[in-house]
Amino acid sequence: MKNNNKLLVVSDLTKVFIIGGRFLGVKLVAVNRESFDMEEEKPEIFTIAGESGCGKTTLARMILGIIEPTSGKIFYKGKDITKIQSKEDRLDFMREVQPIFQNPFETFNPLKRVESYLIETAINFGAVKNRSEAFDRIEEVLQLVGLSIKEVEKRYPHELSGGQLQRVSIARALITNPSLLVADEPVSMVDASIKMSVVNLFKDLKEKYGVSVIYITHDLATAYYISDRIAIMYRGNIVELGPVEKVMLNPLHPYTKLLIEAVPEPDPDLKWKEEIKLSAMEAKEFAKLGCKFSERCLEAKERCHEITPEKIFVDDRWVMCHKYK
């Protein structure tokens, strides 16, 4: 495989969870042999969206090295991260790839003042040599997110608002000059105004500082607004992947269509009309033969229930559906 010039290569990645006991338990394939990659030279915002429980967080945690894949490989700048052995190499990797989580309150230690936590992070990562350098670095990253040390000084996490704290957690992630941010639902708990300030920040980081972002979200309007490419997941698989305009304005996969149609409009004149059908037993769907969406798909044919569809390249994007064969 050619991994040159790739920032990230995810190859045939699988994660299996056993739920309900080791012997009687059922296998749940949370991520099913998935692959995608990101270019090193061309920073981008890559969105992963899809059904609740389809495996987005699991995928992100494997990329961050928090959980181990069951099989498959992840290369970061050509290095297989599942094979990192030495502490030094691990620290190197952690400097380059930084997480941002959904709940900023969980990122911080509630008993530590925000600025001392930031200083420690800077020192622990070896991003700076001493406290005074740390101070400068922190002022720098806080400025990037539109804050300053003055505003967070002597404050505990609960004394900042959710939006401020989420910005601080992005600042924390920037201390080490990372090339890739992995943001798992960074704006799902905040209101529209904070949401826009966070996603505008991602845009700036990409455009001005060349940082790439994996943006996991249920908020498709912000996904459209900031991303270059988008991957739509359903039950462990990426069912459609391509440029955001293509996928969102002209979706091909029946699940993508359903998802885009369900996006609520913030306009009382454009309310939903028809009822929507949801699946009842998720675990069963994960284990289903054939296309996992076939029970709910209005366009399902016989083969859909038996044969797993392959990924096909149509109109600039990959689609995993028999219809396009």
Ligand X SMILES: Nc1ncnc2c1ncn2[C@@H]1O[C@H](COP(=O)(O)OP(=O)(O)OP(=O)(O)O)[C@@H](O)[C@H]1O
By the rule CB under 6 A, 293 interacts with ligand SF4: yes
The residue within the footprint of ligand SF4, chosen from 140, 207, 299, 315 (CB under 6 A), is 299
- Rounded Cα gap, residues 280 and 285, in angstroms: 9
Partner from Mg ion, ligand SF4, another protein, none contacting 159, C-beta within 5 to 8 A by type: another protein
Chain residues in the site for ligand X (CB under 6 A):
17, 19, 28, 30, 52-58, 158, 162, 189
By the rule CB under 6 A, 317 interacts with ligand SF4: no
The residue within the footprint of ligand SF4, chosen from 51, 304, 311, 318 (CB under 6 A), is 304
- Rounded Cα gap, residues 44 and 212, in angstroms: 5
C-beta atoms surrounding 26 within 10 Å:
13
Helices of type H across the chain:
56-63, 87-96, 104-107, 114-124, 131-144, 149-152, 162-174, 192-209, 220-226, 244-249, 254-262, 282-287, 302-306
The two most distant CA atoms of the chain are separated, in Å, by: 68
By C-alpha distance, which of 143, 154, 162 is closest to 101? 162
Nearer of residues 181 and 297 to ligand SF4, judged by Cβ = 297
- Which range, of 58-66, 113-121, 170-178, 293-301, touches ligand SF4 by CB under 6 A? 293-301
Backbone φ, ψ for residue 177 (5° rounding): 60, 55
- Rounded Cα gap, residues 214 and 46, in angstroms: 5
Distances (CA, A) of 165 to 14, 22, 50, 145: 33, 39, 26, 11
Considering only residues 99 to 158 of the shown chain, the ones binding another protein according to CB under 8 A are: 102, 151
Partner from ligand X, another protein, ligand SF4, none contacting 44, C-beta within 5 to 8 A by type: none
The residue within the footprint of another protein, chosen from 1, 66, 192, 289 (CB under 8 A), is 192
Please check whether residue 232 is in contact with residue 259, taking contact to mean a CB–CB distance below 8 angstroms.
Answer: yes
Task: Tell me how far, at minimum, the Cβ of 102 lies from ligand X, in Å.
Answer: 8
The two three-digit tokens of residue 125, written as one number: 């990562």
Nearer of residues 103 and 308 to Mg ion, judged by Cβ = 103
Partner from another protein, ligand SF4, Mg ion, none contacting 57, C-beta within 5 to 8 A by type: Mg ion
Considering only residues 275 to 294 of the shown chain, the ones binding another protein according to CB under 8 A are: 275-276, 278-283
**Beta-strand pair 45-50/229-234:** parallel
The residue within the footprint of Mg ion, chosen from 32, 57, 121, 169 (CB under 5 A), is 57
The residues facing 313 across adjacent strands are 318
The two three-digit tokens of residue 189, written as one number: 């708990």
Partner from Mg ion, another protein, ligand X, none contacting 17, C-beta within 5 to 8 A by type: ligand X
The residue within the footprint of another protein, chosen from 27, 116, 161, 289 (CB under 8 A), is 161
Nearer of residues 123 and 260 to another protein, judged by Cβ = 260
By C-alpha distance, which of 48, 49, 43, 41 is closest to 10? 48
The residue within the footprint of another protein, chosen from 260, 300, 312, 314 (CB under 8 A), is 260
The residue within the footprint of ligand SF4, chosen from 64, 294, 311, 318 (CB under 6 A), is 294
By C-alpha distance, which of 174, 237, 228 is closest to 201? 174
User: Which parts of this chain interact with ligand SF4 (CB under 6 A)?
Assistant: 253-254, 291, 293-294, 297, 299-300, 304, 309, 321-323
Footprint on this chain of another protein (rule: CB under 8 A) = 19-20, 49-53, 102, 151, 159, 161-164, 185, 188-197, 200, 218, 220-222, 224-225, 248-249, 258-260, 262-272, 275-276, 278-283
